[in-house]
Amino acid sequence: MASMKAANRAKVVMEEGKTAFGCWQMAPGSNVSRTLASTGVDFVVVDCEHGNMDDAAMHEAVPAIAACGVSPIVRIPDNQGYMVKRALDSGAHGIVVPLLYTVEDAKKLVKSAKFPPHGNRGFGSPFPQARFHPSLGATDYLQQANDSILTIVQIETKEALENVDEIAAVPGIDVLFVGPFDLGNNIGHPIIEGKLHDDLHKAIDKVLKAAQGAGKKAGIFCSNGEQGKKYADDGFDMISAATDIFVLAGGVMASLATAKGTGPAPKLTGPYGK
């Protein structure tokens, strides 16, 4: 029998003690998905929270990414059971869930993501097993999914930061993922022109230590490769180092600046560009 866990590239890389590197997809289209998944990444996050990705676009992106041997990870818009179910039923190898606040929120998420007896996820989609291996059947998926899918919580609220050790200790939570822009906003130190306040640096380090102390993995969203290298060196296990919209805008602006002879292109400092 094929192993779902072995097919989850991001999970395998992290369990081997290596850093899983990936990118963010915000623009819809399976060609965009395949292009991103063919760059050497371990995972692609399909962003259904802030991206232009509806349910249909998600169902196109996930198989396109998986077919490249890369883990499709879906960020859902909110911690709601039906959203978890739709993402996992599409064949996602993991889910990223934004704006958690409490331990109870984390426990609720685990319940939504796991089949009984560890949760209350419904069973019935004909799609997800093929996103791991073509030989897998529905029964194989049912038996292996609970141990093979990544459940990732974003730590980006003041309350989640205060409760981070307790959230990290919740069984079934695999990764604490820092959303630095919302975290900065919510602790009163927004990222302005790409600059992080010392208190935000401390908050990020607190999340990393909480994950390590609980034997879990730590991830972070980065605007560029330089940030990704820094956080990889700091010990983060899962790093998104690029975003499709950011790279698209930056690449065109750089080429235009060169073609026009106007000097370096304007620096992009936001999460997705300007």
Contact between residue 53 and residue 26 where contact means Cβ atoms under 8 Å apart: yes
Cα–Cα distance, 69 to 30 (Å, whole number): 15
CA dihedral 38, 131, 134, 148 (to 10 degrees): 110
Give the three-class secondary structure for 236: coil
Q: State phi, psi for 83 to the nearest 5 degrees.
A: -70, -40
Separation of CA 127 from chain center = 21
Cα–Cα distance, 251 to 257 (Å, whole number): 10
Catalytic member of 50, 93, 118, 133:
50
Cα–Cα distance, 186 to 162 (Å, whole number): 12
Residue with tokens 């929120």: 105
Compute the Cα dihedral for 248, 27, 5, 170 and give only its sign.
positive
Provide the terminal-to-terminal Cα distance of the chain, rounded to the nearest Å.
48
Residue 54 is which amino acid?
D
**Nearest alpha-carbon partner for 205 in 226, 220, 215:** 220
Tokens of 114: 């796991």
CA angle at residue 200 from 229 to 107, to 5 degrees?
A: 90
Task: State the DSSP string of 138-169.
Answer: HHHHHHHHHHHSEEEEEE-SHHHHHTHHHHHT
- 93 included as an active-site residue: no
- Catalytic residue numbers, as ranges: 50
